[in-house]
Amino acid sequence: MEAGKTAAKRGSAAKIITIKRKKMDAAIIGLGLIGGSMALELRHTHRYKRIIGVEANADHARLALELGLADEVLPLAEALRNSSLVVLAVPVNVIAQIVSQVLDLAGTHAVVIDTGSTKAAICKAAATHSRRGRFVAAHPIAGTENYGPRAAFRGLFQNKINIVCESEKTDDDALQTAVEIFGQLGMRTVFMPPDEHDRHLAYVSHLSHVSSFLLGQTVLDIEQNEKHIAMLAGSGFASTVRLAKSSPAMWAPIFEQNREYLSQALQEYIIHLQRFQYHLMKGNTAELFNIMRQANEIRRVLNGISETATSKTLTP
C-alpha cells in the first residue's frame, strides 16, 4: 500500500521515492457472531495480511479455522505481535477486564476497537491507560439471535448504524481507521457520550431482550401442563420470542453493566403492563384500543431509524 511520496530534487530532475508500508495482521478476539462476521468482512477488504483469531473456547477455535474465519488462532500476546488492528468481540464484562492488557500488548500504532453493547463501563476501564488514544469505543448495532462461529456471515453489518463514544479521547488516525473500516463493512458511524448510549440502548435493545426472555420463560412454564402450546404457537409468537434464543453468556453481562438504565426502563414497561391489565380486567375495550393505537406510532419511529441509517452521519 502506498503511504506517501517524497520528491528529492537533484539539479533539474526530481526523483520520486515511494514509501510502502508493510501489510500487517488483524487480530479478532472472540470468533462468534460479531467477531466472526467482522473477520469475514476484513478478509474481503484485503487491508490485512492475515486474520488472526483469539478464542478461549477450543471448539469454537477449531470451528473458526474450519469455516475460514481466521487464518490462525493464537494466544493473545502472540496474536497482537504483528497486528495493526485489534477487535474485541467478547462479552462486555470480558472487554472491561482485558482492554488495558490489550492496550499494553498491542503495537505502538495499532488500533484497538471494541464492539460491546454497553459503553460507560468499558470507557471507564480504559480511561486512565497511557495509550487510551489508540482505543476506539464502538458499538456496531447489528446481530441475530444466533451465536458462535457458525452464526457468522458476510453482510451482517450492511446498512446498519455504528456508534462511537468518547471520540475526542481517541487519536485522529485511530478514529479515521475505525470509521473507514466500519464504512467498508457498510455501516454509518454516529457519535455520542457513553451514558447517552447506554440510556438509549436500555430502551431500544436491552429491554426488548428482557421482554423476549421472560415471554419465553412464561410460555415454557405453561407448556409443562399444556401439551398443545407448541402446536398452537404461530408466527407472531415466533417473531416476538425470537430474541429469547440469544446467548445468556453475552446478555447477562450487558444487563449487569447497564442495570441502572435497564431497571428504569423495566419499571416504565411494568407500569404499561399493569395499566393494560387494569383495563383488561375492567372490560374497558376502548382504552385497550387507544393503548394499541398509540403504540402503533412505533411504525413512524422505525421508519425514521431506517431513513437515518441510509441518509445521515453525525460528526464527532
Last residue of a domain, one of 174, 192, 210: 192
C-alpha cell at 168: 475526542
d(CA 206, CA 269): 12
Its pTM stands at 0.85
Contact 87, 157 (CB under 8 A): no
Are 165 and 201 found together in one domain?
no
> What average pLDDT does the segment 59-70 reach?
97
Domain limits for position 306: 197-311
pLDDT at residue 19, rounded to an integer: 43
**Which stretches of the chain are DSSP H helices?**
33-45, 58-66, 76-80, 92-105, 120-126, 172-184, 194-201, 207-223, 229-232, 235-241, 248-257, 259-282, 285-295, 298-311
Task: Report helix angle 248-257 to 92-105, nearest 10.
Answer: 90
pLDDT averaged over every residue in the chain: 89
Are 216 and 255 found together in one domain?
yes
pLDDT at residue 223, rounded to an integer: 74
Are 285 and 243 found together in one domain?
yes
- 313 pLDDT tier (thresholds 50, 70, 90): very low
pLDDT at residue 308, rounded to an integer: 53
- 315 pLDDT tier (thresholds 50, 70, 90): very low
Q: For 224, what's the count of Cα atoms within 13 Å in the CB-facing half-sphere?
A: 6
pLDDT at residue 234, rounded to an integer: 72
d(CA 34, CA 176): 21
Q: Give the residue carrying C-alpha cell 479521547.
A: 169
> What average pLDDT does the segment 118-135 reach?
98
CATH of the domain at 110: 3.40.50.720
Look at residue 153 and tell me whether its pLDDT is greater than 90.
yes
Looking at the domain assignment, is residue 3 inside a domain? no
Are 186 and 264 found together in one domain?
no
pLDDT tens, position by position, 32-51: 999 999 999 999 999 999 99
CATH of the domain at 211: 1.10.3660.10
Are 167 and 75 found together in one domain?
yes
| 3-state SS class at 10 | strand
Last residue of a domain, one of 167, 192, 217: 192
Look at residue 6 and tell me whether its pLDDT is greater than 80.
no
Looking at the domain assignment, is residue 298 inside a domain? yes
Are 241 and 259 found together in one domain?
yes
DSSP 8-state symbol, 117: S
pLDDT at residue 122, rounded to an integer: 98
d(CA 242, CA 226): 21
Count of domains observed in the chain: 2
Our measurement of the distance from residue 295's CA atom to the centroid of its chain's CA atoms, rounded to an integer in Å, reads 27
pLDDT at residue 303, rounded to an integer: 78
The more confidently predicted of residues 89 and 221 is: 89
Last residue of a domain, one of 171, 192, 213: 192
Are 44 and 181 found together in one domain?
yes
Are 187 and 202 found together in one domain?
no
Are 181 and 223 found together in one domain?
no
d(CA 224, CA 72): 46
Are 186 and 299 found together in one domain?
no
C-alpha cell at 226: 399444556
